[in-house]
A = this chain, B = another copy of it.
């Protein structure tokens, strides 16, 4: 029996996750679902954004379907109680070091991109973001200097093992795509990046068929606007990946369309799947959210954690067909509600 943990979270998380679950249920795959609280919802109910019971449910499950976390009512809380700590905690506790963020423009959505249609149409890439290291997880804190001045600090670092395991995923993905891997760093300023680059170069000897390039992060941010079609697989660290993948999502149209997978191995169990959008408190509970990113995250779940490639392709085709038939939530310029969009995908399935 296959168990999916549903961690719907805050804001629009529950609304979009409900539609993704409907789609999974419609496929008759004999899945069991187990709900658990996470984020602000868990903090208010149980005093912690990632309660031990939720972590247990997540660990036991074959895969996790995650909604979104974030609640403005938690802004003033101590850092460890804030909703965002739940997702950081899950990534760390489950060793989810590889974050896959495909960015593609669905046919018919050219008008949703801020880029010119001829530029946007070329986009077909995966941003592979390291998710367990970097300045996210280094020592951090406040200190007071000798002269009494307050200072905040965070240590950025990568070691060679961390770089190698994410770079392997990058090369393997590139092999299965267009054999192009672009490693993004800031090696002209950062030693962390210099090590990153050195390790990626060493590893490239094992992948002679993959064309490896290096790009500084400032240039990459520019090229993602100028000519995003040049990229196939981008591999980068946690912080740069956070920035570039959100940027790329907008080039590809609405952030409401893009799924992600967080994996602890190149292929294997216990992945976490979530839309890349946040909890969007401003539109929560109004049925305005686009459930496609959540539905497409469910497709990635089937592909990467359950080895159900066919079912994954079915879902992706259904989303595509619904869009071609004109289904649009407000972020895409339409008027459909969240559940109507879910209906449209189910109808196409």
A residues with CB within 8 A of B: 79, 82, 84, 88, 114-116, 119, 135-136, 138, 140-142, 145, 149-161, 186, 188-196, 217-219, 221-227, 239-240, 242-247, 249-251, 255
Contacts and interface: CB of A to CB of B under 8 A. Distances in A.
Contacts of A116: 114-116
Nearest to A159: B151
Given A114-B225, A152-B159, A222-B246, 18 more contacts: A82-B188, A88-B189, A115-B116, A141-B191, A151-B160, A152-B190, A153-B156, A153-B157, A153-B191, A154-B192, A155-B155, A217-B242, A218-B242, A218-B243, A218-B246, A221-B244, A223-B250, A224-B247
A135 B156 contact: yes
28 contacts: A84-B188, A88-B189, A114-B115, A114-B116, A135-B135, A140-B191, A140-B192, A142-B195, A150-B159, A151-B195, A152-B159, A152-B193, A152-B195, A153-B156, A153-B157, A153-B191, A154-B157, A155-B156, A217-B243, A218-B242, A218-B243, A219-B246, A221-B221, A222-B255, A223-B250, A225-B251, A240-B243, A243-B243
Contacts of A219: 246
Given A114-B115, A189-B88, A217-B243, A152 B194 contact: yes
B136 A149 contact: no
A101 B224 CA distance: 20
A223 B249 CA distance: 11
A221 B140 CA distance: 24
Nearest to A227: B114
Contacts of A152: 157-159, 190-196
Nearest to A242: B218
Contacts of A142: 191, 195
Contacts of A186: 239, 242
A233 B145 CA distance: 30
B195 A222 contact: no
Contacts of A226: 114, 250
Contacts of A195: 142, 150-152
Contacts of A115: 114-116, 225
Contacts of A192: 140, 152-154
B190 A154 contact: yes
A192 B142 CA distance: 8
A149 B135 contact: no
A237 to B, nearest CB: 11
B250 A189 contact: no
A35 to B, nearest CB: 25
Nearest to A144: B159
A289 to B, nearest CB: 17
B242 A222 contact: no
